[in-house]
Amino acid sequence: MIIKDCLNLSIKKLISSSTPQCDAEVLLSFVLKKNRSYLMCYYDKQITSKEQMLFEKLLLRRMQGEPVAYLIKRKDFWSLSLKVDKGVFIPRPETELLVELVLNWKRNKISKVLDLGTGCGAIALALAASKINWSILGIDRNKKAIKLSKYNLSRLKLYNVKFLYSNYWFSKVKYLQFDFIVSNPPYLSKSEFILFNKNIRYEPINSLVSNIEGLYDIMYIIHCSKQYLVNEGWLFLEHGWKQKDIVKKLFKKNGFKNILSFKDHAQKDRVVCGQKK
């Protein structure tokens, strides 16, 4: 079978995906060990039976809802290509807003940053790659995530970021303070998880779902963060697009000042930040 026919057939099979052409091209590129432009230039090239068999196996898993990132064990975030795997949350494009905001924030000194719930290290590594004089610490309660983030760190050869396992949010940083604390915590309610289950059921539920209608972890982080921030330090939190008002109230209730909210590139409320008084 030639590349063009292989893609056309697979796109029809991926009708339940919101991005069938992209999925098919990424999977076939992965199998062929080529980039996507190669598929366009050599669309009439024959693929081997071995390549077709592997592609069809991956295609079947994608048709069943498994994320492309898990199938190819890679996810692009910011300017980085990161290894991802089952059992670790897949970084989302909207989370790049957190990175963009922190990098562009007006501070006149070298900054120390804490990334809470670092996952595969996406936020921490993006910040570290962009600000080589900053000191970044990423922590997570998922041991597999820490192992994966350390792998990504070694592959990217960055020397200004560390990753630590922590059985709860701040348990390993009791005597440290930071200029910035950033986090993309779990913020789905249990009912939302059921509603979206088809698209996210392969990812770790602890990285997605929080008690108290998706707000428990956000409440905990806001409540505890001030003791881990330097004077005038900033907390940046990603949240669900309907949670902006309650999150801003929580910042205010816990004594933060200069509370601001930001929309992602889809124009949905996505990040709230506040400054320690």
DSSP alpha helix (H) spans, 105-138: 122-130
- 97 contact partners, CB below 8 Å, separation of at least 6: 238, 262, 264, 265, 270, 271
Instruction: Establish whether 142 is an annotated binding residue.
Output: no
Instruction: Establish whether 19 is an annotated binding residue.
Output: no
Instruction: Establish whether 67 is an annotated binding residue.
Output: no
Instruction: Establish whether 255 is an annotated binding residue.
Output: no
Ordered DSSP codes for 9-78: HHHHHTTTSSSHHHHHHHHHHHHHT--HHHHHHTTTPBPPHHHHHHHHHHHHHHHTT--HHHHHT-EEET
116 has which bridge partners?
139, 183
Find how far residue 106's CA is from the centre of its chain: 24
Instruction: Establish whether 70 is an annotated binding residue.
Output: no
Pull the structure tokens for residue 220. 């905990």
Instruction: Establish whether 48 is an annotated binding residue.
Output: no
- Which residues make up each annotated binding site? 117-121, 140, 184-187
- Which residues make up each annotated binding site for substrate? 184-187
- Which residues make up each annotated binding site for S-adenosyl-L-methionine? 117-121, 140, 184
